[in-house]
Amino acid sequence: MGVGDYIWMGILAVFQGPEAFSLFGIGISITVLMVLAGFLLGIIVGATPGLAGPMAMAISLPILISAFGFSPDALLPVMGFLIGVMKGATVGGAVPAILFNTPGTPDAYMTTLDGYPMTRAGQARKALKLAHVSSASGDTFSDIVLILCAPFLAVLVEAYLDLPEKTALLILSLAFISSVIGGSVGKGLISMGLGLLAVYIGTGEEFYPRLSFGTQALAQGFPVATAVLGVLILGEVFRALEDLWHERRATAAAAEPAQTGDQHLHWADIRRIAPYIARSAVIGTVIGALPGIGSTLAATLGYSSGARRHARKRPQAVQFGEGAPEGIAATEAANSSVSGANLIPVLSLGIPGNAAAVFLILAAESIGGFNPGPGVFKFTAETVNPELVAAFGLFTMMMLANAMNWTIGGAFMRMAGVMVRVPKPILLPAVLLLTLTAIYVQEGRMLAIWFAIGFGVLGYLMRRVGMSPLPFVIAFILGGKLEDTARQAFAATGGDAWFLFTHPIAALFMALAVLFVALSLRKPSEAQR
Amino acid sequence: MRPPETGSRANLYLALGAIGVALVLALVWVPLDSGSGLIVKVRRQVTIGDALAPTLAAGMIAIGGLLLLFQRGAEGQGGLSRANLAFLLRFLLLCAAGFAIMRWAGPLAVAGANLVSDETLSYRTLRDTAPWKYIGFFLGGTFLIAGMIVQIEGRLSRRAVVIAVLAVAALIALYDLPFDDLLLPPNGDV
Amino acid sequence: MKQFLKAAATALGLAAFATSAIASDWTPPGPIKMMIAFTAGGGADTQARLVAEDIEAKLGWQFIPEQVTGKGGMNLAMAIKDQPNDGTVIGMVVTETLGYNMRAANAGVEPSDFTAISTTAGFQMGIVSQSSKGWKTFADVVEAAKGGQEIRFGVMSPKLADLAYLLGKAQGVEFNIIQVKGGKAVMNGVMAGDMDLGFMAGIQAKGVAAGDLVNLASGLSEPLKQTPEAPTLADLGVQYNSDGYFAFIGPAGMPAEARDAIATAIADAISTEGNKSNGMITKAFGGPVVIAGDAFQVMAEKDFAAAGELMSAASE
């Protein structure tokens, strides 16, 4: 089994999976169909203000698992759908930003700065086309980097990192995420500590479920779905509901500017924006590869770097913020190129860097048979490593989604423009019940719904006091793994209490963790959300 | 955006709260409510006990609180107002009412049916039989969605109820019709 | 003892078939909630879901599977204890839950608080390492340990940790015992090189057949089906073993006709060739093992009583 064999098997796994139907004698695999369905849903969700990709991923997961079961065959169709949603939402987020001056996703905020002025100038269709090309380019570039980097990084990790180093690496990631997300490292650490605390309730190695007050309700701990969906999604829904509550009025219909003039995207346009796309794609990819920083910062950096270049090189042209096509390109390429690179830490280390990655990991864990982490890229010679085939299947699906993006994404994105008119007062309560029902069908008890509401309140409070909920969620996902790895490292080293500091690489990671926290103390982080 | 003073006072309260929570955790809750201490010795091998990880989590919260204490001037964002808490309370009451309807409407309907007819049905055995299984989810869900729309818009409209009914019907179609194994709320509990 | 029990069980299983005409008069009054004490997607979970599917297909009963994982099945035990005992709630655990774990948990319950319904399959518990380690049999491990090499031994339950400890003691070496959650985690640890060897309850079958893994010893009272030449724990000087089964239980006081009807349905499902559950169990666990009703109850109570002995042997 060489590398080539594995790549080929991964591609075949996607295209020759169970057949959905056949078209002109050619079987269309269910996996391909799921990628397409996810992609289209993602665009719609991204185009709807108030909805976001991770939300759709979270809610689809229980439905997908019920439909496909827990078998290894389920992995690619389910992950394909989720990857489709992730990519679709990335493109779709630009739609309301351009048409409606409301970002569909937070990272599309910068797109409003030049997109909406173009709409007011009657150039909405052109702005959408620009956004699409930029987003698709950034996304594709980022995926290529992922495919080239993740396997090597994973092989390195597996070759050089033993249990103590793996423990230290998890601590480093958590410290890094807490320091870079949100305005203050103090709040980041509190958020992370709460996430760890939540995941440690009811778990542990002793038979007594710790921190459960002896109750059955807490003995099984908090199901992952309740904590993650509660804090990430319900918290956001509560906050948005309250804002509407205080506004007490239906969203006013905005007057639509008449669209005139040449809406085509010419070669000259593409040549003009290409340098901005390239620069932003690199910025987004680098940022995306670091867990926890996220697409909002990437968009900000891409935009400001593009703005500086633009002002220097073309002082006579339309400037950023006044409806410059380059502004849309710089933003969209940057925020889209985060999504692929964000999977580098997921696939090579098992560490999620953003909400979308969290749900991909959740999906893999729920189905089983695929444990994102360095073990995936074990190139076995004699037997087939099914996880590696799945990994190349994932890469294939990402490129497939990119192909869909290039071919039909633009047209579908423009059609999804109608979604910007869905009023939030209707949408949010429906999303709330949808999320709660999704949790219930997975867990089968009312208690889980109350847990989720409780975590929703926590997420709401965090947002109100300016604390990012993402460290909480990532700590909740990684907390169990952190404790397990530490226990194993401790046992494996024969009870060496200083295992984090006596192994050189582990000690280096720990030093870096302290350094990141210290650095972010001195200088307030730029990554304010 | 609030003025910075409010924000920094909010940060102060948050920092002190975090430190307080961490102390209670590390000194009271964790030691009293864990199956083993920080480290344990079993089979002649020292291993990590159940109390260690939550104690370290408490440590993180405390460090976060301390850092925030020294940094509180730097950030002026956020803070809780009385209006926020009032909203939360109303919202939670609405949820509680909705879930109560969801949980008990079905069994009540069955009890009612038993009164009218001579049969002795039990909701438990009917929890996966239409139409019984939909009663609670339908009524509770409709109440919840319509209630929220009413709160946001400040008036009860027929549109709100129609939308709620349609949304709940869509959810039933999404989760229940295609899948045998999934139970809508509250049917896993009964 | 176990051998005798097993023979008795087979006889009883057959007897159950003979009486199935009477037992099958019972039908569940509603859908049956099937609690599963294992992570979704793993071998044990798959087994439980396939059993449900096969019974649904044949008898038209309806099952609703639900995960209640954690604490070696004790979470499930505590949850199922107070559920209705009319046959509409059953749960899948391992016999270790009712034995060692229930004893160690000291949570105020014992096997008599549950209705033993039926076992489905036995573990094929081997002590396994990667073949690239170069070890052919357990003696090579002992030699390596005596040569000063630190040996990391992966286990997935406290009972197995006790056994690993006693095994080291019997052989005059010390292992660094690493306890993880679930057989899959031991397998991953061994494959990643984080552990040198570990207990695996059947998950190793494919890797052993392919030559990537090797069964160094049997953790059972009898040789492994796949590697009959590997020594048993008794051969290695340990008088305890990890014999155990996957099993269905219910709350205490289930009516005998309900218990027997469900046991018969399960035995029928897993023993019928061509059934999904039969195929899966044969592949991963070397074939179905049915110990049903009173025989299973007696076995569980014996295991519970005997657990203390192993614990005290390993705790000095």
Q: Which residues of chain A have a pLDDT value below 70? A: 1, 23, 25, 182, 248-256, 523-529
The whole-number pLDDT of residue A296 equals 80
Torsions phi, psi of C245, nearest 5?
Answer: -140, 155
Residue B142 half-sphere exposure toward CB, CA atoms < 13 A: 15
B29 in a structural domain: yes
Query: C20-35: buried (b, 16+ CB within 10 Å) or exposed (e) per residue?
Result: beebeebebebbbbbb
Q: Which residues, numbered 64 to 123 in chain A, qualify as contacts with chain C under a Cβ-Cβ cut-off of 8 Å?
A: 69-71
The whole-number pLDDT of residue B143 equals 96
The more confidently predicted of residues C14 and A234 is A234
Would an 8 Å CB–CB cutoff place C258 in contact with chain B?
A: no
Question: Coil, helix or strand for A22?
Answer: strand
The more confidently predicted of residues A509 and B181 is A509
Whether residues B87 and B133 share a domain: the answer is yes
| Rounded-to-integer distance, Cα A364 and Cα C229, Å | 38
Encode pLDDT of A213-254 as tens digits.
Answer: 989 899 999 998 899 989 988 998 999 899 888 876 444 555
Confidence of residue B75 (pLDDT cuts 50, 70, 90): low
Q: Domain residues for C193?
A: 126-218
Which tokens go with A115?
């997109």
Whether residues B99 and B145 share a domain: the answer is yes
Would an 8 Å CB–CB cutoff place A219 in contact with chain C?
A: yes
Minimum CA–CA partner of A209 in chain C: C71
The whole-number pLDDT of residue B70 equals 83
The whole-number pLDDT of residue B72 equals 67
Whether residues B22 and B41 share a domain: the answer is yes
Encode pLDDT of B98-157 as tens digits.
Answer: 999 999 999 999 999 998 888 788 898 898 888 999 999 999 999 999 999 998 888 888
Q: Tell me if C64 and B45 make a contact (CB, 8 A cut-off).
A: no
The whole-number pLDDT of residue A246 equals 80
What does the angle CA B116 – CA B119 – CA B125 come to, to the nearest 5 degrees? Answer: 115
C308 in a structural domain: yes
C155 in a structural domain: yes
The whole-number pLDDT of residue A107 equals 80
Q: Tell me if C315 and B43 make a contact (CB, 8 A cut-off).
A: yes
Encode pLDDT of C125-169 as tens digits.
Answer: 999 999 999 999 999 999 999 999 999 999 999 999 999 999 999
| Mean local confidence (pLDDT), C286-313 | 93
Q: Tell me if B128 and C64 make a contact (CB, 8 A cut-off).
A: yes
The whole-number pLDDT of residue A460 equals 95
Q: Tell me if C180 and A488 make a contact (CB, 8 A cut-off).
A: yes
Considering only the beta carbons, identify the residue of C30, C179, C315 that sits closest to B127: C30
What's the CATH number where C308 sits? Answer: 3.40.190.150
* Centroid of chain to Cα A121: 33
Q: Domain residues for B95?
A: 82-175
Tokens 């309900």: give the residue: C258
CB C189 within 8 A of CB C178: yes
Considering only the beta carbons, identify the residue of B151, B163, B171 that sits closest to A437: B171
Q: How does strand C152-155 pair with strand C197-200?
A: parallel
Decide if pLDDT at B189 tops 90. no
Last residue of a domain, one of C183, C218, C253: C218
Task: Tell me how close the Cα of A297 comes to any Cα of chain C, in angstroms.
Answer: 36
The whole-number pLDDT of residue C210 equals 84
Q: Tell me if B57 and A487 make a contact (CB, 8 A cut-off).
A: no
Most confident range, picked from A79-88, A361-370, B42-51, C184-193 = A79-88
C51 in a structural domain: yes
B187 in a structural domain: no
Question: Coil, helix or strand for C194?
Answer: coil
C226 in a structural domain: no
Whether residues B169 and B116 share a domain: the answer is yes
B181 in a structural domain: no
| Rounded-to-integer distance, Cα C223 and Cα C212, Å | 20
Considering only the beta carbons, identify the residue of A207, A367, A444 that sits closest to C105: A207
> Residue A374: its chain C contacts at CB < 8 A?
192
Strand partners, B40: B47
Whether residues B102 and B151 share a domain: the answer is yes
Considering only the beta carbons, identify the residue of A203, A207, A383 that sits closest to C74: A207
The whole-number pLDDT of residue B6 equals 53
Whether residues C294 and C190 share a domain: the answer is no
Whether residues B86 and B170 share a domain: the answer is yes
Decide if pLDDT at C18 tops 50. no
> Residue B181: its chain C contacts at CB < 8 A?
64-65
Considering only the beta carbons, identify the residue of B42, B45, B127 that sits closest to C31: B127
Confidence of residue B76 (pLDDT cuts 50, 70, 90): low
> Residue C46: its chain A contacts at CB < 8 A?
70-71
pTM: predicted TM-score of the whole model, two decimal places: 0.89
Neighbours of C (≥3 Cβ pairs closer than 8 A)? A, B
B184 in a structural domain: no
Confidence of residue C6 (pLDDT cuts 50, 70, 90): very low
Q: Tell me if A488 and C212 make a contact (CB, 8 A cut-off).
A: no
Whether residues B10 and B63 share a domain: the answer is yes
Task: Tell me how close the Cα of A131 comes to any Cα of chain B, in angstroms.
Answer: 30
Tell which residue, A412, A497, A450, has the closest CA to residue A36: A412
The whole-number pLDDT of residue A351 equals 87
The whole-number pLDDT of residue A427 equals 87
B186 in a structural domain: no
Q: Chain B to chain C, count of Cβ pairs less than 8 Å apart?
A: 35
Number of domains composing chain B: 2
Whether residues B109 and B163 share a domain: the answer is yes
Confidence of residue C1 (pLDDT cuts 50, 70, 90): very low
Decide if pLDDT at C16 tops 50. no
The DSSP 8-state label assigned to residue C292 in this structure reads: B
B49 in a structural domain: yes
Whether residues B162 and B139 share a domain: the answer is yes
CB A472 within 8 A of CB A195: yes
Cα A180 to Cα A290, C39, C49, C291: the distances in Å are 10, 34, 44, 57
B123's CB contacts (< 8 A; 6+ apart) are B106, B107, B109, B110, B132, B190
C227 in a structural domain: no
Whether residues C276 and C133 share a domain: the answer is no
B183 in a structural domain: no
Would an 8 Å CB–CB cutoff place A371 in contact with chain C?
A: yes
Decide if pLDDT at B65 tops 60. yes
Whether residues C114 and C250 share a domain: the answer is yes
> Residue B42: its chain C contacts at CB < 8 A?
161, 315
| Rounded-to-integer distance, Cα A436 and Cα A430, Å | 10
Whether residues C153 and C116 share a domain: the answer is no
| Mean local confidence (pLDDT), C53-74 | 92
Q: Tell me if C84 and B128 make a contact (CB, 8 A cut-off).
A: no
> Residue C50: its chain B contacts at CB < 8 A?
none
Decide if pLDDT at C230 tops 80. yes
Decide if pLDDT at C188 tops 90. no
What's the CATH number where C156 sits? Answer: 3.40.190.10
B106 in a structural domain: yes
Last residue of a domain, one of B30, B50, B71: B71
C25 in a structural domain: yes
Minimum CA–CA partner of B26 in chain A: A197
Q: Tell me if C107 and A207 make a contact (CB, 8 A cut-off).
A: yes
Whether residues C146 and C168 share a domain: the answer is yes
Full strand arrangement of the beta sheet holding C213-218: C176-179, C152-155, C197-200, C126-130, C213-218
The whole-number pLDDT of residue C128 equals 96
Minimum CA–CA partner of B165 in chain A: A430
The whole-number pLDDT of residue B77 equals 60
Query: What is the maximal distance between C-alpha atoms in chain A?
Result: 75
Whether residues B105 and B164 share a domain: the answer is yes
The whole-number pLDDT of residue C88 equals 94
| Rounded-to-integer distance, Cα C133 and Cα C8, Å | 41
Minimum CA–CA partner of B128 in chain C: C31
Neighbours of B (≥3 Cβ pairs closer than 8 A)? A, C
Tell which residue, A476, A505, A458, has the closest CA to residue A228: A476
Whether residues B86 and B129 share a domain: the answer is yes
C236 in a structural domain: no
Q: Which residues, numbered 78 to 97 in chain C, qualify as contacts with chain B under a Cβ-Cβ cut-off of 8 Å?
A: 84, 88
Last residue of a domain, one of B13, B47, B71: B71
Number of domains composing chain C: 2
Domain boundaries, chain A: 3-250+263-522
Considering only the beta carbons, identify the residue of B35, B60, B88 that sits closest to A204: B35
Q: Chain A to chain B, count of Cβ pairs less than 8 Å apart?
A: 234
* Centroid of chain to Cα A390: 19
Tokens 């809406």: give the residue: A263
Minimum CA–CA partner of A490 in chain B: B47
Last residue of a domain, one of B71, B92, B122: B71
Whether residues C59 and C169 share a domain: the answer is no
> Residue B180: its chain C contacts at CB < 8 A?
62
